[in-house]
C-alpha cells in the first residue's frame, strides 16, 4: 500500500482544519492535528498548505463554472461622515455614488452608532487571528 502524503491527509481534514482555525491559532491547530489526527506539520507548512488548497479550490471553481450569463455588479453606496471628535459635529459628508443628494444632518444617535461600529471594527482588526489575515 502506498504511503499517503501529508498534503493528501491535509486535504481530507481541510473542513476540520477550517473549523479549528476559527477558534485556535495556527500553533494550536498544528498541536491538535498532531494529537488527534496523526498529522505532523509546522505552522509554516500549515500556512503553505492552506494557501495551496485554497488556490487549487479556486481554480477548480472557476474551471467548472460554465455559465455564460453576465453578472451585473452594482456598486454599494456608502455614506461617509467625518466628525470632529472633540465636538461630535459633522465637518464633512460625502456619498460614494454619483447622485447629488441634499445634506442631511445626522442625529447624535446616528453618530454614536457610527462611532461604536468604527471602534468595534478597530478592535476586531487588532484581535483577528493570523488565519483571518
Concatenating the DSSP letter of every residue in 37-53 gives H-----HHHHHHHHHHH
One-letter-per-residue 3-state SS of 55-67 = HHHHHHHHHCCCC
Query: What secondary structure letter does DSSP report for 53?
Result: H
Concatenating the DSSP letter of every residue in 9-25 gives HHHHTHHHHHHHHHHS-
Show the cell assigned to 101: 443628494
Show the cell assigned to 49: 498548505
pTM: 0.46
> pLDDT tens digits for 19-67?
999 999 999 999 999 999 999 999 999 999 999 999 988 887 776 665 5
Strand pairing partners for 82? 92
Amino acid at each position: 500500500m502506498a504511503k499517503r502524503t501529508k498534503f493528501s491527509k491535509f486535504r481530507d481534514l481541510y473542513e476540520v482544519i477550517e473549523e479549528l482555525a476559527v477558534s485556535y491559532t495556527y500553533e494550536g491547530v498544528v498541536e491538535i492535528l498532531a494529537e488527534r489526527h496523526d498529522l505532523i506539520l509546522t505552522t509554516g507548512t500549515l500556512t503553505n498548505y492552506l494557501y495551496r488548497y485554497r488556490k487549487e479550490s479556486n481554480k477548480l471553481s472557476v474551471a467548472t463554472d460554465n455559465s455564460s450569463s453576465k453578472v451585473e455588479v452594482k456598486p454599494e453606496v456608502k455614506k461617509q461622515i467625518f466628525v470632529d471628535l472633540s465636538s461630535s459635529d459633522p465637518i464633512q459628508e460625502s456619498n460614494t455614488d454619483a447622485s447629488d443628494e441634499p445634506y442631511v444632518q445626522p442625529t447624535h444617535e446616528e453618530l454614536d452608532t457610527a462611532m461604536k461600529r468604527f471602534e468595534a471594527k478597530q478592535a476586531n482588526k487588532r484581535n483577528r487571528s493570523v488565519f483571518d489575515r
